[in-house]
Structure 1
Amino acid sequence: MYLFGLHILDALIIIAYFLILILIGVVVARRIKNQEDFLMGGRRIGTWLQTFMNFGMATGSDVPVGASRETFRMGMAGIWVHLFTLFATPFYWITTVWQRRLRISSMAEVFRLRYESRPLESLYALIGIFYLIANISLAMITLQKTVQVVMPKQEHALTVEEKSYIRNFARMDELRTMAKTRSLNSVEKQEYESLQALNSQGKVQSSVSVINPTFLLLSLSIIVLFYTVAGGIIAAAITDAFQGMLLIVLSFLLLPFGLVRIGGFSGLHKAVPESFFNLFGTLATSEYPWYYVVSLVLVGLIVFESAPQNPQVMGSARDEEASRLGRINGNMMKRFAIILWGFTGLIGFALYQNAVSDPDMIWGYMSRQLLGPGLIGLMIVCLLAALQSTVSALLVSASAMFSKTIYEPLRPGRPQKELVLVNRMVTVIVLVVSVLITLYFQDFLRVFKFMLSIGLVFGPPFWIAILWRRATSKAVWAAILYSALVTVLLGNFGADLAGFAKSGYFCRMTDEKTALVKAGANQKDVDEGRALAVGQVLEKAIRIERRGIFFEEIVRQIAHDPHSPLIGRGRFRVSLIFPALLGVKLDHLGVGDLNALGFYLDILIPFLIIFLVSLFTRRNSREGLDQFYGRLQTPVRGSPEEDAVEMERTRANPMRFKQSKIFPNSNFELLKPTRRDAVGFVAIWAIVTLVILFLYLLTQIGK
């Protein structure tokens, strides 16, 4: 018996999961007495709930699917699309203290308190809400694709048009395989470009789902809205604890079935090119060389520390210790899980490299092929848990920014009942907008990069706010305007401007290259005399196609016409104009090189703007600066009531912790590390080393 394309056992598991979430929302709703309870949980959340809230918050459904997608595409080097945050984790031991000591409900408040600017606060709130919407959409895109693959239409139910989509996939995959070993002739190239154009329109699919994507997203939205609107951040924390257990199950679920099917670890090494086990790929073929990973680490630190959701996650902890331990524990759990998810993608490549057109769908395809009734339902529930554990906290953060930054200044002194109602209404609106965007955009990487670009607008001003007293409001405005124009607007929408997209200068491409990689021989190699047996290690020539320098993709304006002019598509790397003008030969670089260089410039230039403009503009008031840095230097003590007494003492004497600075009489606000700071920092680096060792050993088993 089937329901919505699922075995009845799978459907019952999903229904039971939804009922548990609804029950949590009903129970927790009784504890919400005021806005502080709804947004911050009364700042009483302990280490255990903080651990799972951080784990759930950091692990949307895009993470397991994204990690497996990139290892399916690039081998284990692709795992760095999410595992790059591993190297940022030790710094969380220090920065989490800042987050808790800020004592704010909305990250936008930092810009009012430090830069004494209501307009900056409001601008952060508006951009921050867009950032959260992009984050929610990111998780929804991957979940939608994965669940759709798990719930396919039977062949007899396919329409004529849907059958053509599947035929298109088979032909496109055949041409793509041919292009890896030789140049396509003009007819094949024209056909391939036509199929690429159809693929961007959603008309190339390995399977067609029985479930409507709009129905799927609306169903999920109703559930997550129910418990979030009812219980706020407390409901998010409690459901995260429940859903965190499911995420741990998700980490292991596909691995044993996939390994058995492929013949264990030794069978995996025979079926996958040896270069796929290189942690950073080869410099010739990898899109994730080590210096690109370093750029991702820097971007991650800058973006994630200024992220809008931080007050609801770290700021809701009962004290600094609970906030610190919860963040480290939750994020380390995620790092180990990412390795297992990435390894799942590698197994997927070995088994189904010729059966999946869209790498985003590999997780769903593996679930359908490897799992039986009951287990498929469990898999879907785990992915739903990954989505909803992230979305609930993001919705509360969006409502906090609107109410604290926009609504309350316009309508001061409103009763708590009204403020909680406003927060609940905003969560509904934000989720509706996120669903609409998800239905329009289906490109995971484009949304991911859009989200990072938004974060880069306010990341540098946040870090400067914490560390340098001399930074001025005018300098921050200059940096924000630069990043908003270059990194966000032109970076994401430059392809829509004909003057850039059709420019011969910006449509330049990298040189075509050929790289030798080691790979196990397949049956075709044996049949054609290149190997004596399947699995024998051979050196194979891999052709590296030309790629866009300034634009991610360069295609023909008319897909069917090989003589049509070129046009840029995808992200526009505007900042690469600067090295190009200085004479750097960008056409000799690879994709990883171009991405890394673009990220370094996107990070560095805003910092330079703030430093230079600050030196020539008037600094903020001494009283405002003393109060802000006095707040950051005041440890969080005891209950909220006891901490309020400590803050009153700081407001009366904001310089009382001046000697805790490394340079007490300078403009640099670096605090002296305590013994616990130093020991924790070193210990976490030791754990990072163990994680990397675990990853390396995993790639060597069966070699």
Structure 2
Amino acid sequence: MNNMSGGSQAATFVILAIYVAIMVTIGLYTSKRTKSTNDFMLGGRNVGSWLTAFSYGTTYFSAVVFIGYAGQFGWSYGVSATWVGIGNAIIGSLIPFFLIGRRTRLMTNHIGAKTMPEYFEKRFDSQSLKTASALIVFIFLIPYTASVYNGLSRLFGMVFDLGENGGTYIIIAMAVLSAVYVMLGGYKATALNDFFQGIIMLIGIATVVGLTIQKKDGFSAAVDALNIIPDDKGNTGTLGSLFGPDPLNLLGVVLLTSLGTWGLPQMVQKFYAIKDEQAIRKGAVISTIFAFVVAGGSYFMGGFVRLYCSLTENDGDKAFIETLNGRPVYDTMVPALLHQALPNILIGLVVVLVLSASLSTLSSLVLTSSSTLTNDLIKPRVKNFSDKTQMTVMRVFIAVFLVISVIIACNKNASISTLMSYSWGALSGAFLGPFLYGLFLKKASTAACWASFFTGLCITVAHMFLFSMNIEAFSGIRQAVIDMKCPLNLLSPINAGAFAMILSLIIVPIVSSFTKAPEKNVVDNAFSSLSASK
């Protein structure tokens, strides 16, 4: 698939070298200003609106969206996949800033919580909640990280024709790069790099979308061409329509990728670190515009993959997409589109675009995971655990987390979207209700938190074993579900994750209504921060 000239490849290498140098320089610069665990984990809780908004957006969107989700959902839903990006902007970016941003900042600052598990401990007066949630964070951030590496390796494999083991080398190189600047500067390095990477993402997405449409003679002609192509059910006229061939399952994608941000530790932690309430209001606007461009643009671009890709060999000038277990290899679709739609000289821009999106996400994931493991599992069990020692241990766990993620990412059997869906489903399915109601509902109980944790994990793990791991013992169950012909795809890990999140929002108030809330002084102390700031 790679026809890049030597000159184009050389230009791409030069762009990459400059990019890497800037990343490392920012890490070195911020390392001199990172003096404590509060600096390392939260940037001293003094991060402004622009850095917070870009950090939120670049953590949100990575190679998972640009390579994995854009390809899969663009193939399945056509241009209606753009609704996913719109949902990400409004439900995933705008609403959480205004709904939970202020309360999260005030309450976590007042009770001294640096991580989501520590929030659960101090809001619900439960050391056990902290331990359990910390384990959930560490375990289920790993597949998400692996999915980001997977997307990166797909793109680099296309550009540089690296052969069978080339993707593995790229994954390792990216792990080392992300580890270097996060270990050096912690949250400050991450936030500054996110801002720089966000600028690249905005320029890159706008360029790619424009060229994708231009290559097919403009928007109207491209949509008309899409409507001629049959969808997965053999119907025509749906892939270019407003709501696409399958609105119900499209809604599941919107819910998973949008509502999920409200309960993800790497996302809500941005509100812990933001400077003040004015920064929250500005950040909401900036973050929403960023999401409209990056997420909306990615899914809009993905909506046209069928004009560039085909499951049939020798189908005009379309790239042939192979199948695995009877399904198209979705993760190869966007790289194939880019190869055909973009001139070689711009491939370097796309490489840096995806690298920027991915490294910004990776840095937040590894920082969240290592901070949680050190602050919430190790520190409470070690006497005389100094600030300096804690920072050292966090850096060690950054390396451990990345090594495990790299091992998983090197297994190509799991698709990008599957890895990410199970990660988000488990994390937000467990945490969304407890975190959200903990900010608003004084009667929210510890038992309700446990119920949500248990339900979210059970749904995720059960779905994984029954439907995604191809275990022979469960083949009868899988076939029975297929034979049901339910309009909602019950085999989809995306729908399972969305269901877990909705159930979390239902379970917490119900269980809290008949179980005991934490002691009054604990609850009053947490909510006093909100009343005092009015």
TM bucket, shorter chain = 0.7 to 0.9
Q: CA deviation at 1:446?
A: 1.3
- Cα–Cα, structure 1 residues 472 and 5, in superposed 2: closer, same or farther, change >3 Å? farther
Which of 408, 413, 421 pairs up with 2:379? 408
Larger radius of gyration between Structure 1 and Structure 2:
1
Which secondary structure state, in structure 2, belongs to the residue aligned with residue 589 of structure 1?
A: coil
Is 2:139 the counterpart of 1:130?
yes
User: Which residue is equivalent to 2:230?
Assistant: none
Which of 143, 150, 163 pairs up with 2:159? 150
Aligned AA for 1:91? I
Deviation larger for 72-81 or 396-405: 72-81
Listed as ranges, the matches of 1:469-484 within 5 Å are: 469-484=442-457
Q: CA deviation at 1:228?
A: 0.8
Is 2:17 the counterpart of 1:11?
no
User: Which residue is equivalent to 1:542?
Assistant: none
Give the distance between the partners of 1:260 and 1:300, measured in 2 at CA: 29
Give the distance between the partners of 1:231 and 1:459, measured in 2 at CA: 29
Check conservation: 1:50, 1:327, Cα contact below 8 A: no
Q: Deviations over 1:192-215 (max 9, x none)?
A: xxxxxxxxxxxxxxxxx4761110
Give the distance between the partners of 1:605 and 1:72, measured in 2 at CA: 29
Deviation larger for 32-41 or 354-363: 354-363
Give the distance between the partners of 1:221 and 1:123, measured in 2 at CA: 27
Q: Deviations over 1:71-96 (max 9, x none)?
A: 13320123344443234144221211
Which of 425, 441, 450 pairs up with 2:422? 450
- Cα–Cα, structure 1 residues 112 and 259, in superposed 2: closer, same or farther, change >3 Å? closer
Check conservation: 1:3, 1:11, Cα contact below 8 A: no
- Cα–Cα, structure 1 residues 430 and 324, in superposed 2: closer, same or farther, change >3 Å? farther
Deviation larger for 358-367 or 425-434: 358-367
- Cα–Cα, structure 1 residues 608 and 418, in superposed 2: closer, same or farther, change >3 Å? same
Please give the TM-score of this superposition, normalised by the length of structure 2.
0.85
Give the distance between the partners of 2:342 and 2:499, measured in 1 at CA: 45
User: Which residue is equivalent to 1:91?
Assistant: 95
Give the distance between the partners of 2:81 and 2:303, measured in 1 at CA: 10
- Cα–Cα, structure 1 residues 237 and 279, in superposed 2: closer, same or farther, change >3 Å? same
Check conservation: 1:305, 1:459, Cα contact below 8 A: yes
Q: CA deviation at 1:588?
A: 5.3
User: Which residue is equivalent to 1:395?
Assistant: 366
Is 2:268 the counterpart of 1:303?
no
Give the distance between the partners of 1:352 and 1:98, measured in 2 at CA: 46
Check conservation: 1:52, 1:241, Cα contact below 8 A: yes
Q: Deviations over 1:264-303 (max 9, x none)?
A: 334313422142222311xxx32xx1x5555555555653
Check conservation: 2:202, 2:293, Cα contact below 8 A: no
- Cα–Cα, structure 1 residues 605 and 330, in superposed 2: closer, same or farther, change >3 Å? closer
User: Which residue is equivalent to 1:111?
Assistant: 120
Please give the TM-score of this superposition, normalised by the length of structure 1.
0.65
Q: CA deviation at 1:110?
A: 1.8
Check conservation: 1:125, 1:402, Cα contact below 8 A: yes
Is 2:338 the counterpart of 1:338?
no
Is 2:329 the counterpart of 1:375?
no
Check conservation: 1:9, 1:373, Cα contact below 8 A: no
Q: How many residues align?
A: 499
Check conservation: 1:141, 1:438, Cα contact below 8 A: yes
Check conservation: 1:75, 1:276, Cα contact below 8 A: yes
User: Which residue is equivalent to 2:60?
Assistant: 58
User: Which residue is equivalent to 1:665?
Assistant: none
RMSD over equivalenced CA pairs, Å: 3.0
Give the distance between the partners of 1:460 and 1:231, measured in 2 at CA: 32
Is 2:209 the counterpart of 1:246?
no
Which of 430, 455, 463 pairs up with 2:436? 463
Listed as ranges, the matches of 1:263-662 within 5 Å are: 263-273=217-227, 274-281=237-244, 285-286=245-246, 289=247, 291-292=248-249, 299=256, 303-310=260-267, 312-353=269-310, 354-357=318-321, 358-441=329-412, 442-454=414-426, 455-485=428-458, 487-495=459-467, 501-503=474-476, 507-508=479-480, 548=482, 587=485, 589=487, 591=489, 602-635=500-533
Q: Deviations over 1:547-583 (max 9, x none)?
A: x26xxxxxxxxxxxxxxxxxxxxxxxxxxxxxxxxxx
User: Which residue is equivalent to 1:228?
Assistant: 182
Listed as ranges, the matches of 1:660-671 within 5 Å are: none
Give the distance between the partners of 1:588 and 1:416, measured in 2 at CA: 54
Q: CA deviation at 1:107?
A: 0.7
Q: Deviations over 1:125-162 (max 9, x none)?
A: 11012232232222222222122122337xxxxxxxxx
Q: CA deviation at 1:122?
A: 0.9
Percentage of matched positions with identical amino acids: 21
Give the distance between the partners of 1:26 and 1:141, measured in 2 at CA: 28
Give the distance between the partners of 2:278 and 2:64, measured in 1 at CA: 29
- Cα–Cα, structure 1 residues 342 and 85, in superposed 2: closer, same or farther, change >3 Å? closer
Q: Deviations over 1:519-548 (max 9, x none)?
A: xxxxxxxxxxxxxxxxxxxxxxxxxxxxx2
- Cα–Cα, structure 1 residues 408 and 3, in superposed 2: closer, same or farther, change >3 Å? farther
Q: Deviations over 1:620-656 (max 9, x none)?
A: 2111111122234443xxxxxxxxxxxxxxxxxxxxx
Check conservation: 2:56, 2:267, Cα contact below 8 A: no
Give the distance between the partners of 2:523 and 2:15, measured in 1 at CA: 55
Deviation larger for 325-334 or 27-36: 325-334
Which secondary structure state, in structure 2, belongs to the residue aligned with residue 276 of structure 1?
A: coil
Check conservation: 2:70, 2:334, Cα contact below 8 A: no
Q: Which has the higher helix share?
A: 2
Is 2:82 the counterpart of 1:79?
yes
- Cα–Cα, structure 1 residues 13 and 468, in superposed 2: closer, same or farther, change >3 Å? same
Give the distance between the partners of 2:499 and 2:349, measured in 1 at CA: 44
Unaligned 5+ segments in structure 1 are 154-208, 510-547, 550-585, 636-659, 661-703
Which secondary structure state, in structure 1, belongs to the residue aligned with residue 392 of structure 2?
A: helix
Q: Deviations over 1:501-521 (max 9, x none)?
A: 133x65225xxxxxxxxxxxx
- Cα–Cα, structure 1 residues 119 and 302, in superposed 2: closer, same or farther, change >3 Å? farther
Which of 66, 70, 76 pairs up with 1:67? 70
- Cα–Cα, structure 1 residues 295 and 437, in superposed 2: closer, same or farther, change >3 Å? same
Q: CA deviation at 1:99?
A: 1.9
Check conservation: 1:62, 1:138, Cα contact below 8 A: yes
Aligned AA for 1:19? A
Which secondary structure state, in structure 1, belongs to the residue aligned with residue 518 of structure 2?
A: coil
Q: CA deviation at 1:492?
A: 1.2
Unaligned 5+ segments in structure 2 are 228-236, 311-317, 322-328
